[in-house]
Amino acid sequence: MATQLKETDESGREILDSVVIRFAGDSGDGMQLTGTQFTQSTALMGNDLSTFPDFPAEIRAPVGTTYGVSAFQINFASHIIKTPGDAPDVLVAMNPAALKVHLKDLVPGGTLIINLGAFNDRNIEKAGYTENPLEDGSLESYRLIEIDISKMTLAAVDGIDVTQKEALRAKNLWTLGLMCWMYDRDRQPTIDWLNQRFGKLPHIAEANIAALNAGHAFGETAELPSEISTYVVPKAKVEPGIYRAVTGVETTCWGLLTGAQKAGLNIFFGSYPITPASPLLHSLSNLKQYGVVTFQAEDEISAVCSALGASYAGSLGITSSSGPGVALKSEALGLAVVTELPLIIVNFQRAGPSTGMPTKTEQSDLYQSVFGRNGDTPMPVIAASTASDCYDCAIEAVRLATKYMTPVMYLNEGFLANAAEPWKLPDTDDVEPFPVEFASETEGFHPYLRDEKTLGRNWAIPGTPGLEHRIGGIEKDYDSGNISYDSDNHHKMTKVRAQKILGIADDIPEQEVVSGNNSGKMAVVGWGSTFGAIEQATRRCQEDGLDVSHIHIRYIWPLARNLGDLLKGFDKILVPEMNNGQLVTLLRSEYLVPAESLAQITGQPFKVADLEREIRSRLED
């Protein structure tokens, strides 16, 4: 939130504690690029930040329509922040449709920057306005800056050898230039990026850079309304170290690579393109020099089956998808459970059921992950909560999969995949290696020989002399690994498979409280990407003297050993989730505790203020 301190620095810039800016425009307007570049500059300025890209499923929806609006929100501050911000202080609307969709979120008195060039009668009508919103007084309560950005951009690139279409496409860079002026961001990283990106098209790079500089110069020279000033957001005080801005996809990719190296295995990644999981396929495809084999399979089933085949042959098989794709993989996941082979399934959850809302985030695959297979088919499920946490969770997924010879469901979210945050770069040397030892001893060998402690079976890979064996989906005899239809044996094997997974609870950290007391009036229990919003909301309540604690669960299955006792120390348990109440059911059934659901199924992250209000109101009940 912009504070009203009105402090200024030596150059006369007003000092702000934090700002939320939302760029909104047509999906062809380059808003994601503008946001990403602004993020990069902001990261390099030393602010803490959090972003929320929000774009339509259609690649290029018809121009000027409300459903074709693409937006990028960034929250940056001189202190530690955890969410992309509830409501923007600044809204950049590149056309009437963007204004129509996003104005409702702008804080009262917020700054509204309008591209006048796009406000013609046709666009105004297409956006669903009956009157021109710039003329009907509906924007009076905002600090309105109207600029014909289209015209300004054309003027800026005059003389450069580009077509009118190419010139107009640079208007997002003009806008970025203006915002860089307003918030004192360095333009150089963007200039470097443009030169690199358009290395082979120097005239396009030149036009974009000219537009960027022109937007900046406009701010410096134009006579803007007096209440518009320039701002500075000082650096945030964060832990010393080397940082970079990352998304959850990048950290997941590096985490899997680190994990594979710690296990001493090569990655085989079988995947089928699906929103929002495809970026992981793209990232891993660029890591061939690490022996990573990526396989764009013909469908989701082949993606998981090829990964399982690769695990059978001694690679670390990984597959990724989103909810509907994971549904298609279910039968093969059952095969992975019964053949007890390591496998990692990365699920970038999105709004369901079925196709749902592919580009919108949700946490609605918890049931599917824990319960969604035929037979008694348990597997560990872990959920990442931040882009940074994606790195650790990926390594943990590899560790559990190889140590316990089991598929591991690694829950990610569309929001985490796309959102950026600063990340203190870890040192891979801090991760203890967990090298895999393939079976080689022929004496007494059978494929289902188990480690007494972990209950994981031995992993004998083709190519090993004397260990030739057959595995498959038919139930196996406990003592020989041969196929068996014996009823007592099936009972025993089912119990062993379950016990193996439950035993992981002894190998994972006990559940800790993120903030607040270890017992008390209310525990707010979350999982996944709601971490930031819950933490900020509970802290605000705590600062007000309320007895509220935040518990965030990474290990969805098996649950931490002490979780039941911990929860029983609270009078109330509130479980906010971006689904219709899934973790809450699991907690109630496992611990018989009176956990209450707080469901939000809008495809949008929780707002801190909404959570805070809900916590306060339920505390009073």
H/E element, 73? strand 69-77
Considering only 80, 201, 222, 425, the residue that binds other proteins (CB under 8 A) is 425
Give the nearer residue to other proteins in terms of CB position, either 159 or 465. Answer: 465
Side by side, which strands form the sheet with 548-553?
A: 513-515, 548-553, 520-527, 570-577, 595-599
Residues in contact with 196: Cβ distance below 8 Å, sequence separation at least 6, in sequence order: none
- Comparing CB distances to other proteins, the nearer of 370 and 431 is 431
Which residue's structure tokens are 């057959």?
470
- Put the strands of the sheet holding 69-77 in their side by side order: 48-54, 69-77, 18-26, 90-93, 111-115, 143-147
The verdict on 239 binding other proteins (CB under 8 A) reads yes
466 binds other proteins (CB under 8 A): yes
What count of residues does the chain have?
621
For 258, the 3-state DSSP assignment is helix
Nearer to other proteins, 262 or 350 (CB): 262
Q: Is 470 in the site for other proteins (CB under 8 A)?
A: yes
Q: Cβ 482 to other proteins, closest distance in Å?
A: 7
Q: Does 305 bind other proteins (CB under 8 A)?
A: yes
Among 180, 245, 344, 567, binds other proteins (CB under 8 A): 245
One-letter identity of residue 237: K
295/297 Cα distance (integer angstroms): 6
Judged by CB under 8 A, the stretch of 67-75, 88-96, 282-290, 609-617 that binds other proteins is: 282-290
Look up tokens 């306060």; give the residue: 616
Say how far apart CA 319 and CA 311 lie, in whole Å. 11
Within 30-89, which residues bind other proteins (CB under 8 A)?
40, 43-44, 46
Residue among 527, 312, 509 nearest 400 (CA):
509
Measured between alpha carbons, how far is 288 from 297 in angstroms, rounded to an integer? 17
* Residue 240 interacts with other proteins (CB under 8 A): yes or no: yes
Instruction: Report phi then psi at 611, rounded to 5.
Output: -65, -45
Q: How far apart are CA 383 and CA 389, in angstroms?
A: 9
Query: Which span sits near other proteins by CB under 8 A: 126-134, 169-177, 255-263, 561-569?
Result: 255-263
Residue closest to 105 by CA, chosen among 79, 73, 77: 73
Q: Which member of 238, 327, 328, 502 binds other proteins (CB under 8 A)?
A: 238
Q: Which of 80, 201, 222, 483 binds other proteins (CB under 8 A)?
A: 483
Interface with other proteins includes 486 (CB under 8 A)? no
**What is the per-residue binding string for other proteins in 307-326, x denoting contact by CB under 8 A?**
xxxxxxxxx-x---------
**Per CB under 8 A, 289 contacts other proteins:** yes
Residue 474 binding other proteins, by CB under 8 A = yes
Q: Does 244 bind other proteins (CB under 8 A)?
A: yes
234 touches other proteins (CB under 8 A): no
Q: How far is the CB of 440 from other proteins (least distance, A)?
A: 11
Q: Which residues pair with 293 in a beta bridge?
A: 268
- Min dist CB 88 to other proteins, Å, is 25
Paired sense of beta strands 513-515 and 548-553, if any: antiparallel
**Pick 40 or 51: Cβ nearer other proteins:** 40
Whether the CB-CB separation of 434 and 263 falls below 8 Å is answered with yes
Q: Is 432 in the site for other proteins (CB under 8 A)?
A: no
Residues that bind other proteins (CB under 8 A): 40, 43-44, 46, 189, 235, 238-245, 254, 257-258, 261, 266, 268, 270, 288-291, 293, 295, 297-299, 301-302, 305-315, 317, 331-332, 334-335, 339, 425-429, 461-474, 482-483
